[in-house]
Amino acid sequence: MTNFSARMGILLALVGILLVTTAGVIGQALPSDGEIRYIGREPYGFYALDVDHGVSLRLARLTPDLVTNFYFQWSPDGRFASAQLITTGEQMVLSTETGDTQWLGVVSPSWFSDGAGTYFHARMAWDTPSRVYVANAAGSAWRALTPDDGVNYFEPEAAPDDRTIAFLSSESNLYSMRTDGSALKLLFDADATLHFPRWSPDGRQLSVVQRTTTGSNIYLMNADGSSLRLLVSLTSYIYFCEWSPQGGDLLILSGNGEYRLQVNIIDSVTSEIRTALRSVSTFSSMPNWSPDGRYIYATGVLEGAQNDRDTFIYAANAQQNSQIVEQSFIEWSPDGQRIAYVDAANANHEQICIRYVEDAAPSRCLSVVRGASSLRWLP
């Protein structure tokens, strides 16, 4: 039983609520619909919302300064969150269940898929090259993977099995290495700056973006660097690239340095490019895939949207209807069937609302503490 489930069980027992499943079984230990973790302001803290029963439990206290001045990102299992100071970019890792903190400096940590550890690139001092590190889930016990040879190593990306990390160098090279520091391998020796190394969901392929003087190229290769091929060559710059959760397609955000940007879907086999979204001015959040890969979504001043607080959900296979959600930030259910968002229309009664993607209205709304933000839906 998770720490949250145990504490929630105690809370419900104290208020005399019986946990009854739809089949009428009393005393179910784990909620069938999971939990939504979020940050609340009254009082300040990390919270867990039992989606089945609509009860919120504060897991750890937060200070007003933290909630007001930092951006938050959750670990995959919700046990930790990174917090980035808006003014300087410095980051820390916090335990969402105890509130313990670990300062990292100007570092952007990523978690391995199982949430058991982190990886990132960092400089030990401003006049030293950056290296790739791994650490525990709390952001401590750093261990350098790349050599201290005067070369900058950056943009690490873990393979789906968490055993290998791909990363770039200031010499325009793409490398891979085992997470124990062994098996360093040069995958691609490019003649121009590289960005966004990304593993396919099955870990068999890597994509990487090459920035040229006239635009961008996307290359594909096998995980060992073999069978390198040019997928597409664009006359625009690529600012984001991500594989579909099912593989097969790549999602990119591109533009020519102007406010107008567009989101494209690229078939990794045929190189076919489909334009999904165009912005009127800019995006306020990066586009991404839904967990099941059926939809892509982005927030911003988009063609067809009413304002910069709208999130546009686009059917990736064009077989469902695309739609606009009048919310700035949404969170997907783990199965990709529903979305959750904060409804703060009534200042005295804030709610997290849940709706099926194809529906126009929420199926239910659950009361939460005021100032709810940064949602993370866990199984």
Tens digits of residue pLDDT in 189-208: 998 999 999 999 999 999 99
DSSP-H helix ranges across the chain: 3-14, 64-69
DSSP-H helix ranges across 216-345: none
In 170-247, which ranges are E strands? Answer: 173-178, 185-189, 194-199, 205-211, 216-222, 229-234, 237-243
Q: CB of 141 within 8 A of CB of 132?
A: no
pLDDT in tens, 130-144: 999 999 999 999 999
- pLDDT tens, per residue, the chain with 379 residues: 455 445 545 444 443 433 333 333 333 444 468 999 999 998 999 999 999 999 999 999 999 999 999 999 999 999 999 999 999 989 999 999 999 999 998 888 999 999 999 999 998 888 889 999 999 999 999 999 999 999 999 999 999 999 999 999 999 999 999 999 999 999 999 989 999 999 999 999 999 999 998 899 999 999 999 999 999 999 999 999 999 999 999 999 998 765 578 889 999 999 999 988 776 566 667 889 999 999 988 876 666 555 556 677 888 875 555 677 777 688 999 999 999 999 877 767 889 999 998 888 899 999 999 999 999 999 9
Q: CB of 46 within 8 A of CB of 97?
A: yes
